[in-house]
Chain A
Amino acid sequence: MPSLKDLKTRIESVKSTRKITKAMQMVAAAKLRRAQDAAEMARPYTERFNAVMGALAASVGDSDSAPKLLSGTGKDDVQLLVVMTAERGLCGGFNANIAKLAKQKAAELKAKGKTVKILTVGKKGRDAMKRDFGSLFIGHIDLSDVKRIGYADAQGIAKDILGRFDAGEFDVATIFYAKFVNVVSQIPTAQQVIPAAFDAPEEGDAASNTLYDYEPDEEAILADLLPRGVATQIFAALLENGASEQGARMSAMDNATRNAGEMIEKLTIEYNRSRQAVITNELIEIISGAEAL
């Protein structure tokens, strides 16, 4: 049985752990607000962009001259998986869930005989994938110095990916990230970015019936916009990821704080009980000593 002193140190240490997790939870809550705002701000751009691209892509369609970014290379032999995770841990299953989905997909593709290449964004994903798929890594992008994700960061990643695409290193690129639903639920998502997949505008939709003039011509615009589309999608995914990470950390830390509270209660009861036992013991000794006289 642990001594009184041991118990007391345990209680103290759990108390300071609780203080830390509580603080982390509050920091995450504040950061979550900011991350959510950022994601919200980016939404109009992404929506408009996809609407216009959808209309454009539909009008250029499957013509032979369509840019490769849209129509693909005609093969799907070499697959690039871009795994985007957080730079830090202590956020529940956030990193593990994304890595799990990516691993599943990688294994599936390998079983089909495709070549898989992996590009990681964020340290934690890299660590998680290293054991099983370390040999497939072709690069890593470190965002640990980035305090606030800006469009320029997304552009950097997009540039890297597009450069590899132009060099013919892969045929299909898919990004993995967690979609933010709410604080307790973030859904790991896989999204294909190359060749670009846009939702075709619905029939009868006002926008799809408008006949646009294009300046310069449609294909020049497409060629200009498709690389931007990749950057936009990555940017949106990074922001979602940012919000998800903070949300996951917040609920993980909330749980940790609660667990610490429970543990303190249990330990306090044990402490009181053993203190009582010591007192009873001393009394018995005194009484039996007095009786012996």
Chain B
Amino acid sequence: MAETMQFDLVSPERSLMSAQVKSVQIPGADGDMTAMPNHAPLITTLRPGILTVETEKGTEEFVVTGGFAELGEGLSVLAERALPKGDVDQATYEAMVDEAQSTYNQTKETFKNEPGPVDDAAKLLSDMVAVGTHIGLSPKQPSL
């Protein structure tokens, strides 16, 4: 039997999953990573993306939008918003992209001469758009 670890996925509103898992693919801020049992302790922030959980029974996928993951004894992912992949339809997805778009526009207004925050917001937006391609919805084109 393969080794397993405790995995918790919680959003502020509810706990979505708590189970023994074999591995989890995390969309980390600096790139995707796969966490397996006995991983070195790590804290990373998340970018919008797909979280793939592999359990003994099969794989489950969630769409997460930001938050962070803490890898210690087990793995806990604290996502700002998390939805099972199947629950995300075109309308939900477009609403999420629109939100990122308006954040981007706002940031661009506020920080006219500072590229830092604007770039961050632009990345957030393009990540959000990329999520659509991953889950097979027609991606909504952002205006950058």
Contact = CB atoms under 8 A, between A and B. Distances in A.
Nearest to B8: A44
For the residues of B in contact with A, the DSSP-based class is strand
B10 A45 contact: yes
Do most interface residues of chain A lie in helix, strand or loop, or is the interface mixed? helix
A44 B14 CA distance: 8
A151 B28 CA distance: 22
Nearest to B44: A215
A20 interface: no
A48 B13 contact: no
B41 A45 contact: no
Contact of B70 (A44, A46, A52, A232): A52
Of the four ranges (under 10, 10 to 19, 20 to 34, 35 or more), the interface on chain B belongs to 20 to 34
Contact of B42 (A41, A56, A154, A215): A215
A151 B44 contact: no
A228 B67 CA distance: 8
A45 B78 contact: yes
A289 interface: no
A154 B13 CA distance: 11
Given A41-B15, A151-B13, A228-B80, 18 more contacts: A44-B15, A45-B10, A45-B11, A46-B12, A48-B10, A52-B70, A150-B13, A151-B80, A154-B12, A207-B72, A210-B41, A210-B72, A212-B42, A212-B43, A213-B42, A215-B43, A215-B45, A220-B45
Interface of B: 8, 10-15, 28-30, 40-45, 67-68, 70, 72, 76, 78, 80-81
